[in-house]
Amino acid sequence: MNGPSPLNKHPMTGFPQVCFIKNTVANPNIVIGDYTYYDDPEDSENFERNVLYHYPFIGDRLIIGKFCALARGVKFIMNGANHKLSGFSTFPFQIFGNGWESVIPQPNELPFKGDTIIGNDVWIGYDSLIMPGVKIGNGAIISSRSVVVSDVPAYTVVGGNSARQLKQRFSTEVISELEAITWWDWPIEKISKHLAVIVSADIAALRACRDG
């Protein structure tokens, strides 16, 4: 057996609160990897409601890798939330028109943090908030109700508001090797065959699975 189909929206029979969201996201600027799921008993298929201020004319993307676990209430603030900061007032007068459109900011006057990129095998806890342009590395863990305002290194646990590093999950040497092995890119048959090693902490065994 090679696990559930990544094309099945609800891979757990009788448990619709878990959804493989690659199958439900329609926005072309939201890219989701296989097997990444969102867990929400209210409406797990409507993950896009958690991607805020994501206006198509801005063009920023939310990219989430494979095998990520996203808990209920995880939200992503995108670049459309930004206001002009260089003047005395940050109020967006221009959006209300009626003559106020004369102060529309130029594109280079608005803060732009770029794409928000979440790696593979990332666990993002309940009610966490990810700010625009943040990069979260492979294997990272974001504690519940964290506010992530800066990049998170691979295989690092962060938490708090603003989120700070709590610990590195493995040694620097092991993390470097995990980044090179990239088990999440293996064929699913190979992943399924070596699950016991993937969920262990034996880097030598994982290396042997890659090379075998």
Crossing angle (nearest 10°) for helices 172-181 and 203-211: 20
Quick check: 55 pLDDT over 90?
yes
User: Start-end ranges of CATH 2.160.10.10 in the chain?
Assistant: 18-169
Amino acid (1-letter code) at residue 14:
G
Average pLDDT, the chain: 96
Residues composing the chain:
212
Q: In the chain, where does DSSP find H-type helix? A: 172-181, 188-193, 195-198, 203-211
* Cα(101)–Cα(22) distance, integer angstroms: 38
Known catalytic membership, residue 10: no
Amino acid (1-letter code) at residue 158:
V
* pLDDT tens, residue by residue, 139-196: 999 999 999 999 999 999 999 999 999 999 999 999 999 999 999 999 999 999 999 9
* pLDDT tens, residue by residue, 31-49: 999 999 999 999 999 999 9
* Cα(190)–Cα(3) distance, integer angstroms: 11
Amino acid (1-letter code) at residue 169:
R
What percent of the chain shows pLDDT beyond 90? 93
**Top CATH class, 18-169:** mainly beta
pLDDT of residue 212: 78
* pLDDT tens, residue by residue, 110-152: 889 999 999 999 999 999 999 999 999 999 999 999 999 999 9
Half-sphere exposure of 159 (CA within 13 A, CB side): 11
In the structure, what pLDDT confidence band is assigned to residue 106 with cuts at 50, 70 and 90? confident
pLDDT of residue 108: 82
SS3 108: helix
Q: Which of 13-27, 84-98, 99-113 has the lowest mean pLDDT?
A: 99-113
Quick check: 1 pLDDT over 80?
no
